[in-house]
A and B are shown apart, each in its own frame.
Chain A
């Protein structure tokens, strides 16, 4: 056998996504859900796990779970049950989490080529905050628990291992996030933890069908970290295997600041969760009419939206998908289109949003939270279309808008950025340009129109970009009789 035929590996990745539902109240009690409230002000005997208390499921959360399942193409179980998942941890007040086990409410779906194994309902854990040593008698540090978050309704979505790279994981998650956002069932805010993702990762020789030993990458809180974390783990596993070592089944944490992966110790050494049917709850059996009613009320979802952007508005595939999968940017774009009116060029508007604006505020930012209102951007795009401002001038206007907001027309006025028309002033500057570039004039006369660049450059410099390149060309041709 040839020595230099290194084995090629492919990654096999499955994702587990926890989505906090944006109901008014918790999954099993009437405590209000509110991010960032003072610790332990949103609790009651039920979500503190007091003796004798009982859970009563939130109807809205069940509805949201069904909507999520339907949007992911899942079947909805005619009768699903809650189970208890038993383990001890301070953030788990009852000593068990109410979750679903063998009959989840949603199963067997698919989103953009990635199969959904299941999506089930459960309750979130509370928040543990570690506090340092404080001279207390018992032990060193303490963990302080805030039960406000405890009991938040969650949908846990589990994919089949259909993903092959970090980049694919990121793109798919963006689509998932946009889909859920469009449904209106969650804020899907990764920083606040309303969308959390774990990845199961293994590698195998290309062409192999059986799965390698997988590791679990926990709780990555941005799309960028997910991509980097997964790629780092694939690289780690590949290096291990190439060095003749074995991948060990373990749970890992990715540190984005150092790019390193560290092994986490498990909560319950054995993972013997002793699931059994939750005797405090009866089955959830959504009537067929309810499922159909929810199905009928689903909004246009990102995949449909991408189709509309591409085939309805004529955007490129990439731009269409980018806008559809990045929920906030897509929504902003649609808003700008709406403000700009029917005559605006959808494609050019898309370029302004996905190119110029995103370049200035970053792809992770929500443009709606920038200082550039959709009305302002719509006005700017319209002005460009009407040649009231040149592309270069408009970019300067956008810089100002991003910095401090405002109205494009006023900025153009105040900074003298209005495009020069075909008036005498521009003709005079063209004359000066021709005079200053005799060689270019000769070249053009000799048939080399490329030489006009020098002339346009001169004019642009003189006018600080307010001149329209097309207009300058027209005047030059006229003056030289070309």
Chain B
């Protein structure tokens, strides 16, 4: 029975709950029991009670009827430990709840727990968590990606039907790709950032990490919307529809001819090429486009995001909340607190960002990065005159080994090569499972092959094209051979 419950996607569970075929409290318990015994480091906090038993009225006649959800620890929830996986927020209990989470709860989602992540969402492997690393359920010697690695691992391991993630430069899409899941970064501004602990304010967007495209649409439907507490939020202009497309007739997909494939694993390239063929087979027209400035996206990103982060993380000062390490005088207290509370990667980014903004360097670094950002957005605008969607691999590699890139920040940053340009342009992009590659990334693999690892296809569309994007991803998903997730095995 429990296994049957876990087998349901979020959308399927919602339907079954409304039809009275399954019991919401049992569904919650089925997951909660698994979470209690999890060994992969996916959760930082778990709900020990059962809200469906304690407060059933909260879920009655809601659209999601109590479907459980895992929440990335970057989202504040009132009275619930919310740490952004940082030691500096150990024990912090926010006095308020993030708008996007409150919306999901109001729609009837029940929170299973808070998922692990790279500290303050800075990282691509989850090895930067201040508490514990997360293992990739496909191969526990490998990373799940990051920063929403806990969310992705939880969904891939059947520890939640779905999970919220946040994406600043690829933090939803890359772990989704490395864990064989669907991950959607919506258009900047469509989901409220209020209550999402800020990393880089002009880039951060919350979105779903799910088993399939339908669930991604369903979560987005209840997360999105303009919020009076976030003055950069717009919401989506149209109601989010559950996807239904079965073909891609008349759709044009742009493949950037400007991709430098030298840094991409051959297995990833092979899966990508096969995916593009499938798009054609579905009736799509594949056209060549150019994104001439995309290769500089990573540079612009690694100036803009750390600069904003250096200011966003100044509030962690040992005065009002979180960790304090005493010292002789005020400055020493600040310096000790921040020394003890932040991990190495966070310090690195604060340093990089502070440097990029400091007197004499602003124009050369931060100022210039903003100009590159304009060029990248222009590139996409031009591309979308020629095509409806742009496709690339989501990640240049399959999931890498734990520890492999820890000593080389630059190599780690290159994981974001394909995802960062869309973040800078603020446009929506989804990662959909496209196939499998051998563990060394050398070649394509088939379901059932020993140690095969998932590879994602990234599809990006113009701002506010979420419905079209979800439809395209849905059609592609239907045409792609099912790859059993670790929890299914």
A residues in contact (CB < 8 Å) with B: 45, 48-57, 84, 86, 88, 90, 93-96, 138-139, 143, 145, 270, 272, 274-276, 279-282
In this complex, what residue of B is CB-closest to A145?
B319
Cα distance A88–B230 in the bound complex, in angstroms: 25
A52 with B197: CB separation less than 8 A: yes
B250 at the interface (CB under 8 A from A): no
**Any A CB within 8 A of the CB of B334:** yes
Q: Is the CB of A279 within 8 A of B328?
A: no
Q: Report yes or no: A143 in contact with B366, Cβ–Cβ below 8 A.
A: no
Question: Measured between alpha carbons, how far is A84 from B354 in the docked complex, in Å?
Answer: 13
**B400 at interface, CB cutoff 8 A:** no
Chain B positions near chain A (C-beta within 8 angstroms)? 75-76, 82, 84, 89, 92, 94-96, 98, 193-198, 200-202, 228-232, 307-308, 310-311, 313-317, 319-321, 326, 328-330, 334, 354, 357-359, 362, 366
Q: How far is the CB of A84 from chain B (nearest CB, A)?
A: 5
Task: Give every chain A residue within 8 A of B95 (Cβ-Cβ).
Answer: 45, 50
Tell me, in angstroms, the Cα distance from A139 to B328 when the chains sit together. 6
Question: Are A276 and B94 in touch, CB under 8 angstroms?
Answer: no
Would you mind naming 19 contact pairs between A and B with Cβ atoms under 8 Å apart? A45-B96, A49-B315, A50-B76, A50-B94, A50-B95, A51-B82, A51-B94, A51-B321, A52-B196, A54-B229, A56-B230, A88-B317, A88-B334, A93-B315, A94-B315, A95-B313, A95-B314, A279-B201, A280-B201
Alpha-carbon separation in the docked complex, A281 to B231 (Å): 6
- Secondary structure call for the A interface: loop
Q: Which residues of B contact A90 (CB under 8 A)?
A: 317, 319, 330
Q: Specify which of B201, B329, B357 is in contact with A139 (CB 8 Å cutoff).
A: B329
Kindly report which residue of chain B lies nearest to residue A271, judged by CB atoms.
B359
Q: A residues within 8 A CB of B194?
A: 52-54
B482 to chain A, nearest CB (A): 37
Q: Which residues of B contact A51 (CB under 8 A)?
A: 76, 82, 84, 89, 92, 94, 197-198, 315-316, 321
Which of B98, B228, B314, B357 has the most C-beta atoms of chain A within 10 angstroms of its own C-beta?
Answer: B314
Which of A51, A94, A143, A270 counts the most B-chain CB atoms under 10 A from its CB? A51
> Contacting A57 at CB < 8 Å: which of B200, B231, B314, B366?
B231
- The answer to whether A88 touches B321, judged by C-beta atoms less than 8 angstroms apart, is no
Given contacts A52-B194, A90-B319, contact A276 B76 (CB under 8 A): no
Chain B: which residue is nearest A94 at the CB level?
A: B315
CA distance A420 to B315 in the complex (A): 76
A57–B89 Cα distance when bound, in Å, is: 28
Minimal beta-carbon separation of B406 from chain A (angstroms) = 26
Using A56-B231, A90-B319, A274-B311 as known contacts, list a sample of 15 further A-B pairs with CB atoms less than 8 Å apart, ordered by residue number in A: A48-B320, A50-B76, A51-B76, A51-B197, A51-B315, A51-B316, A53-B96, A54-B230, A54-B232, A139-B326, A145-B319, A276-B362, A279-B201, A280-B198, A282-B231
- Known contacts A52-B98, A139-B328, A145-B319; is A274 also within 8 Å of B231 by CB? no
The residue on B at minimum CB distance from A143 is B330
B94 contact from A45, A49, A84, Cβ within 8 A: A45
User: B321 and A50: CB pair below 8 A?
Assistant: yes
Complex Cα distance, B320 from A48, in Å, reads 7
CB distance from A373 to the nearest CB of B (A): 46
Closest to B92 in A: A51
Give CA–CA (A218, B358) in the complex, Å. Answer: 26
Q: What are the nearest 7 A-B pairs in CB distance?
A: A95-B314, A279-B202, A274-B357, A279-B201, A51-B197, A49-B315, A52-B195
Closest to A274 in B: B357
A93 to B414 alpha-carbon distance, docked (Å) = 35
Inside 8 A of A54's CB, which chain B residues have their CB?
Answer: 193-194, 229-232
Nearest to A142 among chain B residues (CB) is: B330
Complex contact B357–A86 (CB within 8 A): yes
Please tell me which one of the listed residues A55, A138, A279, A282 contacts residue B308 in the complex, with CB atoms under 8 A apart.
A279
**Complexed CA–CA distance, A275 and B356 (Å):** 11
**Residues of chain A lying within 8 A (CB to CB) of residue B197:** 51-52
Q: Which residue of B lies closest to A46 (CB)?
A: B229
Question: B231 to A280, Cβ gap below 8 A?
Answer: yes
- Which residues from B are CB-within-8-Å of A275? 357
Alpha-carbon distance A272/B232, docked complex (angstroms): 28
Contact flag A138-B326 (CB < 8 Å), given A84-B311, A279-B201, A280-B231:
yes
The complex places the Cα of A96 from the Cα of B358 at a distance, in Å, of 14
B310 cross-chain contacts in A, Cβ below 8 A:
86, 274
CA distance A48 to B92 in the complex (A): 14
Which of the residues B201, B314, B320 comes within 8 Å of A86, measured between beta carbons? B314
Q: How far is the CA of A93 from the CA of B319 in the complex (A)?
A: 8
When C-beta atoms are compared, the residue in chain B nearest to A273 turns out to be B359
Whole-angstrom CA separation of A129 from B479 in the bound complex: 67
Q: A52: which B residues are within 8 A, CB to CB?
A: 75-76, 94, 98, 193-198
Nearest CB in chain A to that of B228: its residue: A56
Contact B319 A272 (CB under 8 A): no
State A28–B359 Cα separation when bound (angstroms). Answer: 28
Interfacial chain B residues near A86, Cβ < 8 Å? 310-311, 314, 357
Interface centre among A90, A270, A280, by most B CB within 10 Å?
Answer: A280
A54 to B233, CA, bound (A): 11
Tell me, in angstroms, the Cα distance from A46 to B289 when the chains sit together.
44
B88: nearest chain-A partner, CB-CB? A51
Q: Which residues of B contact A50 (CB under 8 A)?
A: 76, 94-96, 315, 320-321
Chain A residues with CB below 8 A from B329, complex form: 139
- The chain A residue with its CB closest to the CB of B84 is A51
Q: Which residues of chain B come closer than 8 Å to A95, judged between CB atoms?
A: 311, 313-315, 317
Closest to B304 in A: A279
| Complex-state Cα separation, A280 to B192, whole angstroms | 11
Minimum CB–CB distance for A459 against chain B, Å: 74
**Cβ contacts under 8 Å, B193 to chain A:** 52, 54
Report Cα–Cα, A145/B321, bound state, in Å.
13
Output the least CB separation between B422 and chain A (Å): 17
Q: How far is the CA of A54 from the CA of B193 in the complex (A)?
A: 8
| A49→B98 CA distance, assembly (Å) | 14
- Also in contact, A272 and B358, with CB within 8 A (given A57-B231, A282-B232): yes
**Residues of B close to A143: CB separation below 8 A:** 330
Report B483 CB to chain A, min CB distance, Å: 35
**Which one, A49, A55, A93, contacts B231 given CB within 8 A?**
A55
With the chains together, A105 CA to B231 CA distance in Å? 18
Bound-state Cα–Cα, A139 to B232, Å: 43
Interface pair A274/B330, CB less than 8 Å apart: no
Give every chain B residue within 8 A of A281 (Cβ-Cβ): 231-232
Q: Assess the B358–A274 pair: CB atoms within 8 A.
A: yes
CB distance from B314 to the nearest CB of A (A): 2
The interface residues of chain B lying within 8 Å CB-to-CB of A139 are 326, 328-329
Q: How far is the CA of A94 from the CA of B329 in the complex (A)?
A: 20
A96 — which chain B residues lie within 8 A by C-beta?
311, 314
In the assembled complex, the Cα of A269 lies from the Cα of B329 at a distance in Å of: 16
Tell me how far the C-beta of B311 lies from the nearest C-beta in chain A, rounded to whole angstroms: 5
Nearest chain A CB to B130 CB, angstrom units:
14
Residues of A near B315 (CB, < 8 A) are: 49-51, 93-95
Neighbouring A residues of B354 by C-beta, 8 Å? 274
* Max chain B C-beta neighbours (<10 A), residue from A88, A138, A143, A272: A88
CB neighbours (8 Å) of B94 from chain A are 45, 50-52
Closest to B315 in A: A49
B314:A94 contact, CB within 8 angstroms? yes
Residue of A nearest to B94 (CB): A50
The complex places the Cα of A143 from the Cα of B314 at a distance, in Å, of 19
Neighbouring B residues of A270 by C-beta, 8 Å:
359
Give Cα distance in the complex from A292 to B315, angstroms. Answer: 40
Chain A, Cβ-Cβ closest to B95: A45
- Shortest B445–chain A CB gap in Å is 41
Contacts of A88 in B (CB 8 A): 314, 317, 334
CB-nearest residue of chain A to B198: A52
Q: Taking the nearest CB of chain A, how far is it from the CB of B324, in angstroms? A: 10
Are the CB atoms of A280 and B232 closer together than 8 Å? yes
Which B-chain residue is minimally distant from A92 (CB atoms)? B314
Instruction: Give the residues in chain A near B358, CB-CB below 8 Å.
Output: 272, 274
> Measured between C-beta atoms, what is the minimum distance from B349 to chain A in Å?
15
